[in-house]
Structure 1
Amino acid sequence: MVGVRNAYDGSPIIGPFNGHNKSVWSVAFSPDGTRFASCSKDHTIKVWNTQDGTLVGEPFRGHTDEVTSVAFSPDGRFITSGSADKTVRIWHANNGVPVVGPFIGHTKLVRSVAFSPDGTQVVSGSEDTTIQLWNTRDGTVALDPIKGHTATVWSVVFSPDGTRIASSSADCTIQIWNAQNGSLIIGPLTGHAREISFVAFSPDGARLVSCSWDHTIRIWSSEHGTLVAGPLEGHTNAISSVAFSPDGTRVVSSSTDETIRIWNAVASKPMLDQLNGHIDGISSIVSARSGAYIASCSRAIYVWDSQNFIYFSGPFEGHTDFVRSVALSPDGKQLVSGSDDSTVRVWDVNKSTLLAGPFTDHSEAVNSVAFSPDGAYIASGSSDQTVCVRSLSENTLISSPFKGHTNVVLSIAFSPNGTYIASGSYDCTVHVWDIRNGTPANSPFLGHTSGVMSVAFSPCNQYVASGSEDRTIRVWDPQNGTLITDPFAGHTDTVKSVAFSPNGAYIVSSSYDHTVRVWHTRSGTVAAGPFFGHSDMVTSADFLPDGIRVVSGSWDSTIRIWDLSDIPGIPSTSERSPARSSYSTCPTMPSEWIIKSDGWITDQNGNVLFWAPSEVIRCLLAPHCSSIISRYGTIEVDMSSALFGERWKQCYASVL
């Protein structure tokens, strides 16, 4: 069926029209808007009157297989079509008489066709991974096939000035080509996680919109290849088509979720900065010791400005599976990543480009990576039960893989002097290795009763901390493996991450219990927290270099920055004013409150304060949380006039 709807309110104007007897693959309006063409799996093309839905002439017949794409010429006189019969044809729009064709050259199904703005050429994209440019006068090829995509070319389109051709592919990339000689101008543009089904230029040619089977829409600068809006989310299934409105202010999309949606295509830069963020749960987060950046990873890797907590660079594209760990070099200029794809890669932080790798030293997932203090080496720990250390200058392992663990290696950390590496494993042990020869520096540290999820050296080389699935944190003497104090107890689920403060006096931990806590290193007592705010397990936490802020990443896809400056007993390495929040201006709002997983916000005694939906909870500022990095933005509720406790009765005033 085919129908026409109002672009402002979505109401049906006319239709649905029944005419094709099989699925309709593509529709296109004539330039004057009085007609539209449709093509179908039934091998035919039909032209309809947009006023009354009547057919204009007979169905166009000639293709010997399903017709996959149609487009009008700029003057509305002709229609071009592409088909599963591997050909392209041009027809008279009024009567369906073939004008020229079939154009033969593709070796597989033709997915997309489009006229050039002057009508002299037609471009086509095919499952044979190529793009062909044809002369409409006689059907001859204007250029050799344009090659660059590695999978089906789903969509092709000319820029409004005719100088460029954009293409999207099942290889998850967009490429922009010179229409005169077929050379690549921009791309490949990456970001979509699945096949990109359609691309379209804005009327002024400055932007390019794309849609994908990953359920999202993205808007790009066609001049620079940068993302300027999105990903726009809302569809619940693959998006099949997308287009700009004639004034360029809106985007319309259609999806296999059986909906059509209209989006605002105009957004300011600050709004776009706020919308950057992870789509998937965050597995690792780390602060650069230089103080400039924060790095985080999920399926994608991003780097953030740690002063303003805004997007800096990324996503870093290359890994073919989930990224488990990232680390920044001491100068903050390089980033190392480890992934479930069993590889380690080194990246340029500023350019988001690959510097070295992929290194395939491991045979299974890489769960943890680290830079040496001088930046000369990278270490990695893997599910293959080994630890590897690689020299970046020599591009080789400095010794055989370190073997000793009897289960998956989950975490590694260099000592501050760079001579040792600590590792934690599902075998419940902590090992300390001499990196010069890969031998254990002493016996395994025994004590945890379940997997060791995280290890960290203190800045002065004096301690090794470990966090475990047994819900405890332990601090060890690295020389002999003895405990400094009793295990730290308080978390109610797996301790996923531990990190020392810059002065070594404190340890921050994150847990599957959705909380972040700060502990005194020597005594194991709680110095701050638990901090409630994340709506899912907190997978990673680290101190910022000033020592009074903590950054955490969660499976809820958000990053939170916690301010410790107003907590007694925690000294600062820099002068900072406590973060101010409207929560503190409400006389009846407790200074500390807890966000529950069901959306209820309570005080520390469990008394209910208010409720918020899950989409609000994940971006809601909480006590001590000064900033959130999230693609969902940040929400702060104005509590200045809120009425809690005994004062709730004042919310109603009788008019009698």
Structure 2
Amino acid sequence: MEGPRNNVKSVTFSPCGKHIASSGEDETVRVWDSQTGECLFTLEGHTNWVMNVKYSLSGEWLVSGGRDGTIRFWNSETGEPGVVLNSPLGEVYSLAFSPDGRWIASGHVKGGLQLWHAGSGEPGPVLHGHTGYVMGVAFSPDSRWIASSSHDYTVRLWDASTGAPINTLSSHKADVNDVVFSPNGFQIASGGSDSRVRLWDVDSILTSSVEQEDQLGAVLKTVYSPNGQNILTVGSHQTVKQWSSLTGAPSPLLTELPESLLVESVSYSLNGLPTVVGTRNATLRLREMQEGGRETILEGSRMVKYVTMSPCCRRIVSIDLYDTVTIWDLASAQRMHVLIRRGGPTREDIGCMAFSATGHQLAVGTRSGTIWLFDPQSKGLIMSIPTDWIIEAMSFSADGQQLAVGADDGCIHLLDLQSDECAIELRGHTEGVVCIAYSPCGEWITSGSQDKTVRVWRRQQPQGDTESWSYGSTIHGYFDEVLDIAWNPIVPMEFVTGSMDESVRVWRVSSDGEGVVVKLLWGTNLAVLHAAGLMLKGTTGLDPMQKKLLIQCGAVSNLTGMNSEE
């Protein structure tokens, strides 16, 4: 069947099976005889690529959607043009008819979905949520649900009667190009540019809170509000999100950030208002996340690779691409002071920074092993500490007397800042320690690593003047390295983690005096079953597909001898 002058983007059978319709980059729709392959007619009218074509349920109409932003109806028997719908959402990439004949759904360039009344062509609800091209859309056989797939790497499920979002599925690691319901409506299949077809159980999606997800990217930064009730996160997609620390429910920010602002750090001011630091055209900008919030421009900054704020939001320290460390006092006319200049105290890459809890000390660590301790108020150097470690992370104890240093060999070194000595080493991680945090009470340390675990360490009762720490617990279940950790300043024994696997997780630590128990309170982006090390014995009712899924997810394979009744 030859005729299209360029790539074919969509093809579909008529309900009777006698005809095939196709559309493509030559801006046409073509109808073919499915028995002979003869082209019956070519439909012209679109002014850009025609991305999708569908038959109505009765077969009377063809409907096509294109990058010209129009949805066009054609008489399927004669090819005569009918109604033309112009969408305010722009380019059309996907179309679907509901099985009950009431709705047409269209997916668009910037992530929107539009419902149209199939009979009148009047616009219905708009479904917002995707952030990339909506390449696939499908109705369930009973017309209750809509599934959509997008270049934002997600599949989303919607209530077709209200347009309300039901769930977001984010296991794909690349563009999701198409989605379809099974004939019985029990499953959804999605296919993506990650070379994966994924099957989803609809009942589980409808009832699971684990699958409620936001497109965050890797979670780079986590911080609690002063009252401990909210959590701010920054994702690698430059997304700033606020969550209820108790339930994990999204807590909307009062203002939106401009798309051109690349978020580098987040914190809360003393009055509890979220504040972000971003870069725009190599200029640092401090922005209060509230209606009418101020934006402060920090002149003189260069391309920034890392920014941190003091706990009180009164100072900002940045590291630029040339490893120059600069501090701003925001209360004193935005005065800029260079702490470290390339070619000065160090020529090595600067790997991390940390403020003490009070903001009275600033530690700067280099990958060559040198730690510089500054007084942020006077800008003076307090001390320099040479080490043999490749430093990846640092954290001050609550009293500012101790500095925990994470190294690339998986070891944590506890430095006494009064004696400039390291008397304690905590070993257990098998790869580099990426983040460390002391609890507000000073009795616990949590550490996250490239080995995809979090470890909890506990201060022991001192024997005389000797301090000691012991291993408490290891948290497994992450699918990539753990990037950040923060403790709740109000609620005891609670902390949050951000990970490269795009998850935000809140944990509660408890102890019976001997053992340490860490429990997950809530998490988002926990879309993949984790079964590492699981051994099933005496289990009944597993079919071959279920066995294979468990093994793929990390379960120990002891299933080879099972018969159909086991």
Which TM bucket (shorter chain)?
0.5 to 0.7
Spell out, residue by residue over 1:420-459, the C-alpha distance to the aligned partner (whole angstroms, 9 max, x if none): 433333343333334346x234232x13223432233333
What is the aligned partner in structure 1 of residue 351 from structure 2?
410
Match 2:471 to one of 501, 504, 528: 528
Q: Is the 8 A contact 1:338 1:366 kept in 2?
A: no
Where do residues 212-223 of structure 1 align in structure 2 (5 Å cutoff)? 212-220=150-158
Tell me whether 1:93 sits opposite 2:76 in the alignment: yes
Amino acid at match of 2:440: P
Q: Is the 8 A contact 1:528 1:567 kept in 2?
A: no
Q: Is the 8 A contact 2:56 2:97 kept in 1?
A: no
Q: What CA distance in whole angstroms lies between the structure 2 residues aligned with 1:358 and 1:178?
A: 45
Q: Is the 8 A contact 1:337 1:346 kept in 2?
A: yes
DSSP-derived class of the 2:336 partner: coil
Where do residues 192-591 of structure 1 align in structure 2 (5 Å cutoff)? 192=131, 195-198=133-136, 209-220=147-158, 227-231=165-169, 233=171, 238-242=175-179, 271-276=208-213, 281-300=218-237, 301=239, 302-308=241-247, 326-329=266-269, 333-334=273-274, 336=276, 356=295, 362-373=301-312, 375-389=313-327, 397-404=334-341, 406-436=347-377, 439-444=379-384, 446-469=385-408, 471-476=410-415, 482-483=419-420, 485-491=422-428, 492-513=430-451, 514-520=453-459, 525-529=468-472, 531-533=474-476, 534=478, 536-545=480-489, 546-558=491-503, 563-566=508-511, 568=513
Spell out, residue by residue over 1:451-475, the C-alpha distance to the aligned partner (whole angstroms, 9 max, x if none): 4322333333444433333654444
Cα 1:87/1:473, change in 2 over 3 Å: closer
Match 1:173 to one of 87, 91, 111: 111
Deviation for aligned residue 1:94 = 1.4
Q: What CA distance in whole angstroms lies between the structure 2 residues aligned with 1:19 and 1:258?
A: 29
Give the share of equivalent positions with the same residue, in percent.
21
Q: Is the 8 A contact 1:285 1:297 kept in 2?
A: yes
Deviation for aligned residue 1:244 = 7.0
Q: What CA distance in whole angstroms lies between the structure 1 residues aligned with 2:286 and 2:184?
A: 43
Cα 1:237/1:399, change in 2 over 3 Å: closer
What is the aligned partner in structure 2 of residue 618 from structure 1?
none
Cα 1:223/1:554, change in 2 over 3 Å: same
Deviation for aligned residue 1:168 = 1.8
Deviation for aligned residue 1:518 = 1.4
Tell me whether 1:25 sits opposite 2:9 in the alignment: yes
Deviation for aligned residue 1:486 = 1.5
Deviation for aligned residue 1:526 = 2.6
Gaps of 5+ in 2: 540-557
- Indicate the larger mover: 423-432 or 154-163: 154-163
Deviation for aligned residue 1:229 = 1.7
What is the aligned partner in structure 1 of residue 21 from structure 2?
37
Deviation for aligned residue 1:328 = 4.5
Deviation for aligned residue 1:45 = 4.1
What is the aligned partner in structure 2 of residue 70 from structure 1?
53
Deviation for aligned residue 1:418 = 3.5
DSSP-derived class of the 1:60 partner: strand
How many residues were matched structurally?
519
Cα 1:88/1:427, change in 2 over 3 Å: same
Cα 1:343/1:76, change in 2 over 3 Å: farther
Q: Is the 8 A contact 1:517 1:531 kept in 2?
A: yes
Q: What CA distance in whole angstroms lies between the structure 1 residues aligned with 2:199 and 2:534?
A: 31
Q: What CA distance in whole angstroms lies between the structure 2 residues aligned with 1:73 and 1:278?
A: 34
DSSP-derived class of the 1:399 partner: strand
Q: Is the 8 A contact 2:167 2:213 kept in 1?
A: no
Q: What CA distance in whole angstroms lies between the structure 2 residues aligned with 1:223 and 1:348?
A: 38
Gaps of 5+ in 1: 1-17, 101-118, 124-130, 132-145, 571-577, 580-623
Cα 1:203/1:368, change in 2 over 3 Å: farther
Spell out, residue by residue over 1:476-528, the C-alpha distance to the aligned partner (whole angstroms, 9 max, x if none): 566xx742552424245433222222122443333334451415398563333
Q: Is the 8 A contact 1:324 1:340 kept in 2?
A: no
Name the TM-score, length of structure 2 as normaliser: 0.67
Deviation for aligned residue 1:539 = 3.1
Q: What CA distance in whole angstroms lies between the structure 1 residues aligned with 2:330 and 2:163?
A: 31
Deviation for aligned residue 1:81 = 5.2
Where do residues 587-602 of structure 1 align in structure 2 (5 Å cutoff)? none
Name the TM-score, length of structure 1 as normaliser: 0.59
Spell out, residue by residue over 1:306-329, the C-alpha distance to the aligned partner (whole angstroms, 9 max, x if none): 334565569x98778997765455
Q: Is the 8 A contact 1:370 1:413 kept in 2?
A: no
Cα 1:74/1:456, change in 2 over 3 Å: same
Spell out, residue by residue over 1:155-192, the C-alpha distance to the aligned partner (whole angstroms, 9 max, x if none): 578999999996521xx532769999x999968x4554
What is the aligned partner in structure 2 of residue 127 from structure 1?
none
Where do residues 78-117 of structure 1 align in structure 2 (5 Å cutoff)? 78-79=61-62, 91-96=74-79, 99=80
Cα 1:560/1:453, change in 2 over 3 Å: same
What is the aligned partner in structure 2 of residue 121 from structure 1?
84
Spell out, residue by residue over 1:287-323, the C-alpha distance to the aligned partner (whole angstroms, 9 max, x if none): 4442223444442554443334565569x98778997
Spell out, residue by residue over 1:352-400, the C-alpha distance to the aligned partner (whole angstroms, 9 max, x if none): x998589797544533423433x45554445442445557789x74424
Amino acid at match of 1:70: V
Spell out, residue by residue over 1:207-254, the C-alpha distance to the aligned partner (whole angstroms, 9 max, x if none): 7643223553223578998743223546x8644444679998876656
Of structures 1 and 2, the one with the larger relative CO (CA 8 A, separation 6+) is 2
Cα 1:393/1:212, change in 2 over 3 Å: farther
Cα 1:254/1:27, change in 2 over 3 Å: farther
Where do residues 141-156 of structure 1 align in structure 2 (5 Å cutoff)? 146=88, 154-155=93-94
Q: What CA distance in whole angstroms lies between the structure 2 residues aligned with 1:632 and 1:258?
A: 18
What is the aligned partner in structure 2 of residue 631 from structure 1?
526
Cα 1:281/1:564, change in 2 over 3 Å: same
Q: Is the 8 A contact 2:29 2:50 kept in 1?
A: yes
